[in-house]
Amino acid sequence: MSDLHVYDTTLRDGAQQEGLNLSVADKLTIASHLDDLGVGFIEGGWPGANPKDTEFFARAATDLTLKNATLAAFGATRRAGGSAATDPLVRALLDSQASVVTLVAKSHVGHVERALRTTREENLEMIRDTVSFLRGEGRRVFLDAEHFFDGYAVDRAYALEALRAAAESGAEVLALCDTNGGMLPSRIGDVVADVADALGVAGATGTDTRLGIHCHNDTGCAVANSMVAVDAGATHVQGTVNGYGERTGNANLVTVVANLQLKQGVQLIEPHRLQESTRISHAISEVTNVPAYSRQPYTGASAFAHKAGLHASAIKVDPDLYQHLDPKQVGNDMRMLISDMAGRASIELKARELGLDLDPTDAADSALVQRVLAKVKDLELRGYTFDAADASFELLLRREVEGALPDFFEVESWRVITDSQSHGDALSEATVKITTGGKRVLRTGEGNGPVNALDHALRLALATAYPEIEHLELIDYRVRILDAAHGTDAVTRVLIETSDGETTWETIGVAANILEASWDALVESVTYGLLRAAVPVR
Ligand SMILES: CC(=O)SCCNC(=O)CCNC(=O)[C@H](O)C(C)(C)COP(=O)(O)OP(=O)(O)OC[C@H]1O[C@@H](n2cnc3c(N)ncnc32)[C@H](O)[C@@H]1OP(=O)(O)O
Ligand SMILES: CC(=O)C(=O)O
């Protein structure tokens, strides 16, 4: 295992992201996930800056058992003109009981003079005093040199002086921060190499002090910048899960670790933990309530999803032909997307993914694949989009494969009226006629809109034969007008997302009439739900 530190700041810098607000319980849950991922350090927050972070450290001391990671408390050097021993925020760092304290310090003369409004020497004294005090109290101290790269450009000697002040006072890590996130890889590499040389801290061995890197993503280069810094001598790398962070975020730590480990052979976390990274990234998204970004490298839902027919035909021979690595290494899966860009191989692979083995050398199977492909292309021309409605594609395919889709029910007709009452809101009423198990069923449902009324009526009509549908919940309904040039005559596409409490699926309906499109998507949604639950035809 490499000696390089993997330092996570999701709970501190990640929490600085717009719209992200974590409770103490959320922070404890995320800390457990990070520990399972195998990071070396978890920066829990800034105790003393707000009651929530103070409470997090208090509860972590009793409620959080970390198997792998060490908890770090973040804070700043003492106030100008004061003393570390009496500074209330420094005291709060000690009170947090964290064995590691990460101190943010100024290393840019402009920030010293204009933001701190103090002298260069006093800033160095603030660093020395705070680091020595915390070391004297038995804490390991890491330094976040804020605005280091910009400061280095303005006054290299002073930026290095700030690092020396920390190192000579006992700081173990000197993390160079691209606080404004404006750096590019070549510049980062040059500066880190120069600093490593100037301070004699190249590599983790032979010296007590290590260089670290902390990058923001304002140029879209945070991961690349972190990688280059490691190549240039940094042995401590900071980042956040899912790249959360202020403005455009921080370096995505999972991407950095996967790159270093899977591309450069630097063993940072045990392989079985890296295989948990997709699950953990998604679990953390659930806690933060920030939707998982599907195109995130390695862990995104689309990271190994293939749409183009040519890709599928090569993947059929060997997945490596169109994948940079085996998705299992990061706990992700390969997926085939079906659309009008699909070819026969896409359909065959998708069928296999769905547990339907079609033999391309068999004439009947081959004709079936060709038929399905032609239908997909024709339907996509008319406005369908199967890569957003996997469940509808599965139903389309199964309808072609004999015996693969039970006839759960047959629709005779439906209608819906909306009544604008003289007092109160307009109310919709739908009537649905279906046949199940040879019996004709007619039911009426009400709703606050026509689609809601149709949904209620369909459920009522199916409830006796299929009580299982009680667990199905319509969680999203999206409408798109496909040919705006025609105004109200345009074709409407409806996508419905349904959940059974365990998983979700998307179905589609396309028609000139919005209610017809909605009804088709609803019927597909319920049919797929019954299929998934393996309900027998009644
Ligand atoms: C780059 C980063 O992301 S660093 C992390 C930033 N995170 C945060 O700011 C979140 C938590 N912050 C807070 O809760 C508050 O800002 C607090 C509690 C830290 C301070 O609050 P206040 O005392 O009200 O001060 P305020 O936020 O207005 O200003 C910060 C003060 O710290 C000073 N300061 C800034 N950096 C440092 C530093 N590295 N060392 C010492 N003092 C510093 C500023 O000069 C300013 O001093 P002033 O009050 O004399 O003007
Ligand atoms: C310390 C920190 O978060 C930064 O400089 O970006």
Q: What is the CATH number of the domain that holds 204?
A: 3.20.20.70
User: Where among 257, 288, 319 does a domain terminate?
Assistant: 288
Residue 294 domain-assigned (yes or no): no
Do the Cβ atoms of 91 and 46 come closer than 8 Å?
no
Q: What's residue 484's pLDDT?
A: 63
Clarify whether residues 194 and 321 are in a common domain: no
Clarify whether residues 156 and 219 are in a common domain: yes
Q: What's residue 487's pLDDT?
A: 61
> In the structure, which protein residues have their CB atom closer than 6 angstroms to any atom of ligand 1?
46, 49-50, 76-77, 79, 104-106, 115-116, 126, 146, 179
Low-confidence residues of the chain: pLDDT under 50:
204-206
Token pair 């021309």 in the structure block, residue: 381
Residue 296 domain-assigned (yes or no): no
CB within 8 A of 469, min separation 6: which ones? Answer: 459, 462, 463, 526, 529, 530
Clarify whether residues 150 and 90 are in a common domain: yes
Q: Taking the model in full, what pTM does it have?
A: 0.91
Do the Cβ atoms of 510 and 491 come closer than 8 Å?
yes
pLDDT digits (tens, 9 = 90+) for 56-109: 999 999 999 999 999 999 999 999 999 999 999 999 999 999 999 999 999 999
Residue 526 domain-assigned (yes or no): yes
ipTM: 0.97
Q: What's residue 485's pLDDT?
A: 61
Residue 311 domain-assigned (yes or no): yes
Clarify whether residues 382 and 419 are in a common domain: no
| Nearest atom (ligand 2) to Cα of 250 | 6
Residue 257 domain-assigned (yes or no): yes
Clarify whether residues 309 and 392 are in a common domain: yes
The number of distinct structural domains making up the chain is: 3
Q: What are 167's two structure tokens?
A: 């190192």
Do the Cβ atoms of 411 and 438 come closer than 8 Å?
no
Q: Is 104 in the pocket of ligand 2 (CB under 6 A)?
A: yes
Q: What's residue 1's pLDDT?
A: 81
76 alpha carbon – ligand 2 mean position (Å): 11
CATH number at residue 420: 3.30.160.270
**Secondary structure, 3-state, 218-282:** CCCCHHHHHHHHHHCCCCEEEEEHHHCCCCCCECEHHHHHHHHHHHHCCCCCCHHHHCCHHHHHH
528 alpha carbon – ligand 2 mean position (Å): 48
Domain with 512 in it: 410-532
Token pair 């009324």 in the structure block, residue: 453
Clarify whether residues 356 and 263 are in a common domain: no
Q: What's residue 188's pLDDT?
A: 98
User: Where among 400, 422, 454 does a domain terminate?
Assistant: 400
In the chain the first and final C-alpha atoms are separated, in Å, by 58
Q: What's residue 486's pLDDT?
A: 62
Residue nearest (by alpha carbon) to ligand 2 atom 6 = 179
Q: What's residue 269's pLDDT?
A: 96
User: Where among 365, 400, 435 does a domain terminate?
Assistant: 400
104 alpha carbon – ligand 1 mean position (Å): 10
Clarify whether residues 462 and 503 are in a common domain: yes
Clarify whether residues 11 and 160 are in a common domain: yes
Residue 452 domain-assigned (yes or no): yes
Please choose from 107, 116, 130, 238 the residue to mutate so as to test ligand 1's pocket, defined by most ligand atoms within 8 A of CB: 116
141/73 Cα distance (integer angstroms)? 10
Do the Cβ atoms of 236 and 4 come closer than 8 Å?
yes
Do the Cβ atoms of 314 and 64 come closer than 8 Å?
no
Clarify whether residues 181 and 56 are in a common domain: yes
Identify the sign of the CA torsion 143, 44, 134, 100: negative
Tell me, what DSSP letter sits at residue 94? H
Clarify whether residues 485 and 351 are in a common domain: no
Residue 160 domain-assigned (yes or no): yes
Clarify whether residues 312 and 283 are in a common domain: no
Clarify whether residues 166 and 187 are in a common domain: yes
Q: What's residue 367's pLDDT?
A: 97
63 alpha carbon – ligand 1 mean position (Å): 29
Residue 295 domain-assigned (yes or no): no
